[in-house]
Amino acid sequence: RDKIPHLPEIHVESNLNLLLRRAKENRTVDIEEYVTTGGYSALRKALERLKPEDIVVLVEESTLRGRGGAGFPTARKWRFALMNPEPRYLICNCDESEPGTFKDRIIVERDPHLLLEGMIIAGYALGAKEGYIYIRGEYPAGYLILENAIEEAKSYGFLGENILGTNFSFDIKVYRGAGAYICGEETALIESLEGKRGHPRLRPPYPAQVGIYGKPTVVNNVETLSNIPIIVTYEQYFMNIGPSGFYGPKLFPISGKVEKPGVYEATMDITLRELIDMAGGIKNGKRFKAVFSGALGVYSEKDLDMPMDYSPKGFGGTGTTIVLDEDDCIIDSLLVVANFFHHESCGKCTPCRVGTYEQMNILKKIKEGRGTEKDLEYLKHLSENIPAGSICGLGFSAPQAVSDALRKFPEEFEAHLNRSCKVCFPDSG
Ligand code: NAD
């Protein structure tokens, strides 16, 4: 514990007190506090009163969807794995690296036992004996906190051999990434865990069929797994939390031009506008311009009343909300995103390796006022062809912000072709 570095000050707010119940203060909740505030009672209930299938059914009824961004139904993923013979493995993806995404770290750094309890129950439901946590290298405190929490859980009999005196045994190991965004892609993560270069594999087969060591593997996000103890505790009452089909709490990391950046817990019927209000509204009373959902979608004023759920018209993804105001330039932000994808492309697929480089250079040219209509055409061409020729989510996502911005903010591009952007050309009159 002495080696754990100082935790960063991150504002946290919730009116639900579920995922963030114990994570309000900037400190790590130890096992004693976790247990005295009801922790590990869901695990006890699961092992003493529920069969593995009962837990899968509860997760199915909860409508829980993957909180890593894709929103895939969690129970469906578990069922795919359960169709394949043991040994099965569970991996917790704690490699959140999407720009502006800092929600999983709050659970890991402040309430690590919530995640561990979720993993142990999931391991029991899946018939797994081993689980791995792959944590990004940039979270050194989280790594040490998890190592410490695992030791605590073992000493209390919640983890290891014959958990709580039953014949269920489960172990968790933590691995650190080395700073590569691509290793958050589940198959690259598995390659990395196996000691190989973090390059994605072609899917299918999905990890639920062929995962780590060629065995069925469920890869779930930190926030997803942290919902499991809540689901087991609440059972049918979980369906009172949030809108139909998207039950349960969701974490929203908000940054940029808001009064109170931080991590907010809310139900998914909250709209983008309400979420920004929850974060204190736009900083210094300025005008709203746009939201970047990490490095993916770009949203304009017209989108402010969309729900933050996983429906086709919802915000979806990780819930990451980066707010831009009237003083920000969209092209400037797109260039940051383009630099990011170029830097993080693993290089395996040529359209992604070359396309992200081209995208970055064209945007630089446009930002500097040297762009032409032909460059806009080329950007559109790249938007279609980078995803078409790539095998993983990085290639699918790389041009998404640009194609959204081309549709929603054509005037921002125009203002660079004619050098009238007030941010980039302040002398333009
Ligand atoms: P995906 O929709 O292809 O898959 C989602 C999950 O469902 C995966 O675990 C996959 O294995 C499983 N799945 C899908 N179809 C299946 C099937 N038929 N059988 C078994 N399992 C199946 O999405 P993805 O490519 O894994 O992830 C993309 C998402 O990741 C993006 O939406 C993005 O928001 C998110 N992302 C998040 C971060 C972050 O920092 N949290 C970083 C990068 C990307």
137: which residues sit within 8 A by CB, 6+ positions away?
A: 176, 177, 178, 179
Q: Which of these, 420, 415, 358, 406, lies nearest to 386 by C-alpha position?
A: 358
- Residue 91 pLDDT more than 90? yes
Query: What is the residue with the minimal CA distance to atom 25 of ligand 1?
Result: 393
pLDDT in tens, 29-80: 999 999 999 999 999 999 999 999 999 999 999 999 999 999 999 999 999 9
pLDDT in tens, 169-210: 999 999 999 999 999 999 999 999 999 999 999 999 999 999
In the reported structure, the alpha carbon of residue 331 is separated from the centroid of ligand 1 by a whole-number distance in angstroms of 28
Confidence of residue 279 (pLDDT cuts 50, 70, 90): very high
- Residue 417 pLDDT more than 80? yes
Percent of the chain with pLDDT over 90: 97
Q: Using the structure block, give the residue that is written with the tokens 């689980």.
A: 131
Query: What is the residue with the minimal CA distance to atom 7 of ligand 1?
Result: 72
* Complex-level ipTM: 0.98
| Residue 172 to residue 370: CA distance in whole angstroms | 54
Q: Which of these, 243, 244, 245, 261, lies nearest to 253 by C-alpha position?
A: 261
In the reported structure, the alpha carbon of residue 397 is separated from the centroid of ligand 1 by a whole-number distance in angstroms of 12
Q: Is the CB of 219 under 6 A from ligand 1?
A: yes
CB 44 within 8 A of CB 220: no
The two beta strands, 321-325 and 288-292, are antiparallel
Q: What is the overall mean pLDDT for the chain?
A: 97
**Helix extents (H) in 293-349:** 330-344
What six digits make up the tokens of 89?
């493995």
- Residue 295 pLDDT more than 90? no
Confidence of residue 5 (pLDDT cuts 50, 70, 90): confident
Q: Using the structure block, give the residue that is written with the tokens 């493995």.
A: 89
In the reported structure, the alpha carbon of residue 70 is separated from the centroid of ligand 1 by a whole-number distance in angstroms of 5
Q: Is the CB of 98 under 6 A from ligand 1?
A: yes
DSSP 221-279: EHHHHHTHHHHHHHGGGGGGSSSTTS-SEEEEEEEESBSS-EEEEEETT-BHHHHHHHT
213: which residues sit within 8 A by CB, 6+ positions away?
A: 89, 194
Percent of the chain with pLDDT over 70: 99
Task: Determine the residue of 83, 186, 190, 210 to mutate for testing ligand 1's pocket, defined as the one with the most ligand atoms within 8 A of the Cβ atom.
Answer: 186
In the reported structure, the alpha carbon of residue 387 is separated from the centroid of ligand 1 by a whole-number distance in angstroms of 15
Ligand 1 atom having least distance to the Cα of 317: 34
Q: What is the CA radius of gyration of the chain?
A: 22
7: which residues sit within 8 A by CB, 6+ positions away?
A: 26, 27, 28, 109, 110, 141
Q: Is the CB of 216 under 6 A from ligand 1?
A: no
In the reported structure, the alpha carbon of residue 95 is separated from the centroid of ligand 1 by a whole-number distance in angstroms of 13
- Integer distance in angstroms from the first to the last C-alpha of the chain? 58
What six digits make up the tokens of 141?
């405190």
Q: How far is CA 72 from the centre of its chain?
A: 12
pTM confidence score = 0.97
pLDDT in tens, 345-369: 999 999 999 999 999 999 999 999 9
Query: What is the residue with the minimal CA distance to atom 18 of ligand 1?
Result: 206
Q: Is the CB of 69 under 6 A from ligand 1?
A: yes
In the reported structure, the alpha carbon of residue 392 is separated from the centroid of ligand 1 by a whole-number distance in angstroms of 9
In the reported structure, the alpha carbon of residue 132 is separated from the centroid of ligand 1 by a whole-number distance in angstroms of 18
- Residue 215 pLDDT more than 80? yes
pLDDT at 386: 97
